[in-house]
């Protein structure tokens, strides 16, 4: 099983600032099969990034994904008020699919 460890657990920033969230895998993720989701309270997750760096349909270009192998990053270039939420990484390169534990992005 690939264990995904996200950091930081909580990130406190202000609107307009840049957010950088990390996802580290316990072993290499096949074909960069890594996605990022945003989840707001009481809602289902929403796909942001797949294939490590491809933005999903309708996702603003302030969201970007990067990385390969075992180290992946989600960057939000300029935070908007609606971006404060919990973010999860997800690897789907093996038959045993796993998620990170989540990173909470809160307003400072």
* Interface with another protein (CB under 8 A): 33, 35, 37, 39, 44-47, 50-51, 56-57, 88, 90, 92, 95-102
Q: Which is nearer to another protein, 18 or 68 (CB)?
A: 68
Q: How far apart are CA 101 and CA 3, in angstroms?
A: 10
Q: Which is nearer to another protein, 13 or 56 (CB)?
A: 56
Output the smallest distance, CB 66 to another protein, in A.
16
Output the smallest distance, CB 78 to another protein, in A.
25
Q: Which is nearer to another protein, 14 or 95 (CB)?
A: 95
């Amino acid at each position: 099983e690939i264990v995904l460890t996200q950091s930081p657990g909580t990130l406190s920033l202000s609107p307009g600032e840049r957010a950088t969230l990390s996802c580290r895998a316990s072993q290499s993720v096949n074909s960069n099969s890594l996605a990022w989701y945003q989840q707001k309270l009481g809602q289902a997750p929403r796909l942001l990034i797949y294939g490590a760096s491809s933005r999903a349909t309708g996702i603003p270009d302030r969201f970007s994904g990067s990385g390969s192998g075992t180290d992946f990053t989600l960057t939000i270039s300029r935070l908007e008020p609606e971006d404060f939420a919990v973010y999860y990484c997800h690897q789907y390169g093996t038959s045993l699919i796993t998620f990170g534990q989540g990173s909470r992005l809160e307003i400072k």
